[in-house]
Amino acid sequence: MSLGRIVKLQALITKPLRRAYSTAPELTQIRHNVKRSDYANLEDKDIAFFESIVGKRYALQEDLQAYNVDFWRSVRGNSQLVLKPGTTQEVSAILKYCNERKLAVCPQGGNTGVVGGAVPVFDEIVLSLTRLDKILHIDEITGIAACETGCILENLDNKARELDLVVPLDLGAKSSCHVGGNVSTNAGGLRVVRYGNLHGSVLGLEVVLANGEILDLMSDFKKDNTGYHLKHLFIGAEGTLGVVTKVSILCAPAPQAQHVAFLGLPNFDAVLKTFKSAKLNLGEILSACEMIDAPTLDASLEHFKLNSPINGFPFYMLLETSGSNGTHDMEKINKFVEIGMERGEIIDGTITGEARKMQEIWKLRELAPMALTKDGYCFYYDLSLPLRDFYSIVEVMQKRIGTLATRVTGFGHLGDSNLHLNVSCPAYTDELHHKIEPFLYEYTHKLKGSVSAEHGIGFIKKNYLKYSKSAEAIAMMRDMKKLLDPKGILNPYKVLN
Amino acid sequence: MSLGRIVKLQALITKPLRRAYSTAPELTQIRHNVKRSDYANLEDKDIAFFESIVGKRYALQEDLQAYNVDFWRSVRGNSQLVLKPGTTQEVSAILKYCNERKLAVCPQGGNTGVVGGAVPVFDEIVLSLTRLDKILHIDEITGIAACETGCILENLDNKARELDLVVPLDLGAKSSCHVGGNVSTNAGGLRVVRYGNLHGSVLGLEVVLANGEILDLMSDFKKDNTGYHLKHLFIGAEGTLGVVTKVSILCAPAPQAQHVAFLGLPNFDAVLKTFKSAKLNLGEILSACEMIDAPTLDASLEHFKLNSPINGFPFYMLLETSGSNGTHDMEKINKFVEIGMERGEIIDGTITGEARKMQEIWKLRELAPMALTKDGYCFYYDLSLPLRDFYSIVEVMQKRIGTLATRVTGFGHLGDSNLHLNVSCPAYTDELHHKIEPFLYEYTHKLKGSVSAEHGIGFIKKNYLKYSKSAEAIAMMRDMKKLLDPKGILNPYKVLN
């Protein structure tokens, strides 16, 4: 039995989101007062050259709003040219030319990022990888799949499922995000607790460097200890060190059964104990471990008129199992829940293996960010924190902010120590903003946490990098950038200041 | 129940090995005709400085053979000074000085590598990390452990097991190899099929650069997307880009039950089908998947007077499961074996959960390399190959070499496409050597395989890097080396030519 993704989040959220942000945002360069660097300006001869490479049809100069504005409508660039190369060689020819001319380039995948990393800030040429969408091969025995960068994650996953495999990455934007974009942002998502991060599962990359050189780091093997492991430099580099054009990734065996447990817990200490028990008792079948606090659940219930199978608890946990034997899995879950209830760590809950019911439960979690936005405006954070401080930071913020906010809530990938902390309010105010920042980042810094667990730095967070990385590390990042892209043409104004 | 490592390989093999290679090997610089680079020569003032840093007691100038010769006695350097710093700051002071003076340094962990990466070639100062052996902390809920670089893998694992966790890495040299050495060589081993490689499980590093700068890339989090993911540059760099001084690693929940199945199969096609079936039917509990051919098993049986529970098959598979419920695991294994036997893919086999019996079975596999050495001399290779060619290369070599060899055999980590191909003979001959190489590397190159799946490049394989990496990739490696170690003081004569 092949199990499809339970919630097609993007399909669910696009409409309300688009309504909420129906007008185009202010230009990023104005809103954030950015100064354009000394890149060359696009001239007619440039366009003629690019047309000779990709063809007139794939050198777009009109209706570029979808490429200039991000999915969350938080940033807006002013690019006058979108190029859609059809081969790695075309990407190479474009970059070689841009590097020689010092024309800035913004690589773009599915444009589903949340930190403004994939849209231009000024007039960078948008290099859309949409046409590089081929699945190259999938080996049904080893589970190793290779595809071009613009392949949509869901398409690769669907193809893998035909061979009883799954792509080891799952996130809300699955139906539109690109595999290359996932790699470039080291996308996390819902199943990291099971399958680990992309540094573990990406086996090879093909990358085009700023000067147009094609770097073949593809591999069809899990093990290859020949020289420096260069591919990792491009995983999570957000298109600033090179343009990923091909990806080889290790798929996992498809689970034969899935179950979801939705649990009500009396306090955060019980949440931690339940997580520990889940690791021990569900061990190898645990595939998601999410925490949701009461104010978050309330927002989902209110704004989306959802029903929760249980109510009235300060904390909820959503656990998912994926295994090769449904009967065994159900026995393990029952035992795990019984132990938790005996100990008073779990008060109430529901367990289901029915697709429809699992979907309903996942909605409670996955619609949370949208629900909070519907309060009016939401300051939304993505932190890694020590588990002992995982929730106390929410309480600290609740106390600090008081009635200025509609809700101060926390939910997230507890299994990965990844908290999404949210402050919703009727409308954006500077007062509230300054009440949160930089306090929250300083607080995170003191706990040696990460100010961006999974979203990346992009444009929006580049001033906060210093809270999670030492001056020496940032200096080395600059050295890498200088080495690989000396003219700085690749995705400028992103990641590094 | 906490399960210890089944076979303490090194304890088993040290004696016969030491006997086999009781005389010191020829100096590497002579045997391989290497030219010393223009590093400074060690002077009295240098020794005085180093003594002022680490103390007289930890600046050794006598009885250095154990530091100059590798575990396999295949290479031998001529270092006159071994330094044993006790803190990161001491490592930093040493490197800063060496960099200024242009004194070459060979970082050394447990000295269990097999490619001559951890011993000097000339008179490099050996930087032994033995004293940096502290376990810093282990979080029983998240499973995240941090230790100093010289911590012995088994010590960290034992400590983790006290908290119902396991280090996600297991290899024969566990009782003497260092965690820092594991990281620096991206060690693979027996459980990659379950836990993936170190790029996935290492969460943070502290590294001292060639100029003495301390780079803090430590993290106690699974997710951290703030800037370039620099730590991966040092994983598998074999001490040539920096000296790893601290490691943070994600441990897995300790299995509550382990089982081993040892199976006899009629042909290699059945081996592949059985692997596929294991992935499907054992899925999440599969923790090792090894293949052993008949000539390899014969060598183990002959030289170590072992008994095999089954005999007379061309191929054997050793599968191990690790799960959270022994009854469930046993049911899954029984079903998997039944399916295989019904299909005629598995002919005979034994399944056990008894520690002693599992140990006996593991010996058949783990003593194989030693057994082949006892034929007299053994050419030993470590390849990643497409599974369709995984065994045909052994057959090709058998045909090519004919009666020149005692045995041409193949065994290895089938689950990771990692073949150990071996050619044993009464004594080393140039004729046999040239019959194997470069043919085998060219063959591997044609299949786009890896000439070093898990052992690394070190000194011994540096001429073969080109068979697995493009000229562009090697050029970029050189750029990285130049950037991070411009004077080339760190582990010279290794990895890159």
Tokens representing residue A435 in the block: 């009440």
Strand residues in A179-256 grouped as ranges (E): 202-208, 214-217, 243-250, 252-253
| Ramachandran class of A74: left when φ > 0, alpha when ψ lies in -120 to 50, beta otherwise | alpha
Inform me whether the C-beta atom of residue A1 falls under 8 Å from chain B C-beta atoms: no
**Rounded mean pLDDT for each run of 10 residues along chain A, 497 residues in total:** 36 39 82 96 98 98 96 92 98 98 98 96 98 97 96 98 95 94 95 94 98 96 96 98 98 95 98 95 95 98 95 98 96 97 98 96 93 94 94 97 96 95 94 95 95 97 96 98 98 96
DSSP state letter for A490 = B
CB-based contacts of A348: which residues, under 8 Å, 6+ apart?
Answer: A263, A264, A310, A313
- Determine the pLDDT at residue B172: 85
B265 SS3 class: strand
Q: Which CATH class is domain B132-253?
A: alpha beta
Residue with the bigger pLDDT between B318 and B430: it is: B318
* Interchain contact, B469 vs A227, CB within 8 Å: yes
Residue type, B474: I
Torsion angle defined by CA atoms of residues A466, A468, A471 and A472, in that order, rounded to the nearest 10 degrees = -150
What pLDDT score was predicted for residue B3?
A: 33
DSSP string, B267-288: SHHHHHHHHHHHHHHTGGGEEE
Which residue, chain included where needed, has tokens 């054992």?
Answer: B282
Please identify among residues 387-426 of chain B the ones whose CB lies closer than 8 Å to any CB of chain A.
387, 413, 416-418
Q: Does pLDDT of B8 surpass 50?
A: no
Which has the minimum average pLDDT: A406-415, B16-25, B312-321, B418-427? B16-25
B146-168 pLDDT, tens digit per residue, is 999 999 999 999 999 999 999 99
Torsion of CA A58, A64, A67, A69, to 10 degrees: 180
Question: Residue A215: its chain B contacts at CB < 8 A?
Answer: 470, 472-473, 476
The CATH fold assigned to A10-128 is: 3.30.43
DSSP state of B245: E
**The predicted structure's pLDDT at residue B6:** 37
Q: B246: part of which helix (H) or strand (E)? A: strand B243-250
Å from A61 to nearest chain B CA? 32
- Give the CATH fold of the B369-456 domain: Alpha-Beta Plaits (3.30.70)
Partners of residue B76 on adjacent β-strands:
B69
CATH annotation of B257-364? 3.30.70.2190
% of chain B beyond a pLDDT of 90: 92
Q: Which residues contact B158 (CB under 8 A, 6 or more apart)?
A: none
- CB A210 within 8 Å of CB A242: yes
Interval A474-490: pLDDT, tens: 999 999 999 999 999 99
From chain B residues 134-193, the ones with a CB under 8 A of any chain A CB are 139-143, 164, 185-186, 188, 192
The answer to whether A126 and A81 have CB atoms below 8 angstroms apart is: yes
Q: How far apart are CA B80 and CA A100, in angstroms?
A: 51
User: Which candidate, B311, B318, B343, places its Cα nearest to that of B258?
Assistant: B318
User: CA-to-CA distance for B106 and A58, rounded, in angstroms?
Assistant: 53
A40 touches B: beta carbon within 8 Å: no
For residue A189, what is the DSSP state?
B
Residue among B222, B227, B323 whose CB faces A284 most closely: B323
Lowest mean pLDDT among A142-151, B16-25, B27-36, B428-437: B16-25
pLDDT band (50, 70, 90) for residue B22: low
Put simply, whether A115 touches B (Cβ < 8 Å) is no
Which range has the worst mean pLDDT, B9-13, B210-214, B407-411, B485-489?
B9-13
In A, residues 193-212, which contact B (CB 8 Å cutoff)?
196-197, 199-201
- Give SS3 for A36: coil
Query: In whole angstroms, what is the distance from residue B149 CA to residue B107 CA?
Result: 11
ipTM of the complex: 0.94
The domain limits of chain A are: 10-128, 132-253, 257-364, 369-461
DSSP A425: E
- State whether A221 and B284 contact (CB < 8 Å): no
**Which of B215, B223, B235 faces A450 most closely, judged by CB atoms?**
B223
Q: Are B325 and A323 in contact (CB under 8 A)?
A: no
For residue A279, which residues of chain B lie inside 8 Å, CB to CB? Answer: 141, 143, 253
| Closest residue in chain A to residue B189, using alpha carbons only | A223
pLDDT value at position A1?
29
β strands within A266-406, DSSP E = 286-293, 315-323, 348-352, 377-384
Q: How far apart are the C-alpha atoms of A38 and A153, rounded to whole Å?
A: 36
- Degrees to nearest 5, angle at CA A487 with A485 and A490: 55
pLDDT at B291 over 90: yes
Question: If contacts are CB pairs under 8 Å, which of residues 235-254 in chain A contact chain B?
Answer: 235-237, 241, 253
Q: Do domains A10-128 and A132-253 have the same CATH topology?
A: no
Q: Residue B6 and residue B157: Cα distance in Å, rounded?
A: 13
Helix (H, G, I), strand (E, B) or coil at A451: coil
Closest by CA to B159, choosing from B139, B180, B142, is: B139
Structure tokens at B329: 């695991």
Determine, for residues B418 and A217 on separate chains, whether the beta-carbon distance falls below 8 Å.
Answer: no
B116 close to B495: Cβ distance less than 8 angstroms: no
Pick the CATH number of A369-461 from 3.30.70.2740, 3.40.1170.60, 3.30.1950.10, 1.10.3330.10: 3.30.70.2740
State the amino acid at position B331 in one-letter form.
E
Predicted pLDDT at A9: 39
d(CA B115, CA B134): 27
Kindly give the residue spans of alpha helices, DSSP state H, lying in B282-409.
Answer: 294-304, 326-342, 355-366, 368-373, 392-401
Cβ count near B479 (within 10 Å): 12
Closest-CA distance, A227 to chain B, in angstroms, reads 6
Whether the bond into B492 is cis, omega within 30 of 0: no
Residues near B235 by Cβ (< 8 Å), separated by ≥ 6? Answer: A229, A232, B183, B184, B186, B198, B199, B202, B205
**Considering only CA atoms, which of A375, A410, A186 is closest in space to residue A290?**
A410
Percent of the residues in chain B that have a pLDDT greater than 70, as a whole number: 96
- Could you give the CA distance from residue B343 to residue B463 in angstroms, rounded to a whole number? 45
Give CA separation, A159 vs A322, B215, B439, in Å: 19, 42, 37
Contact B82, B128 (CB under 8 A): yes
- With CB atoms and an 8 Å threshold, state whether A214 touches B472: yes
Whole-angstrom distance, CA of residue B229 vs CA of residue B235 = 11
pLDDT tens digits, B452-493: 999 999 999 999 999 999 999 999 999 999 999 999 999 999
Helices A439-446 and A392-401, axial angle in degrees (round to 10):
150
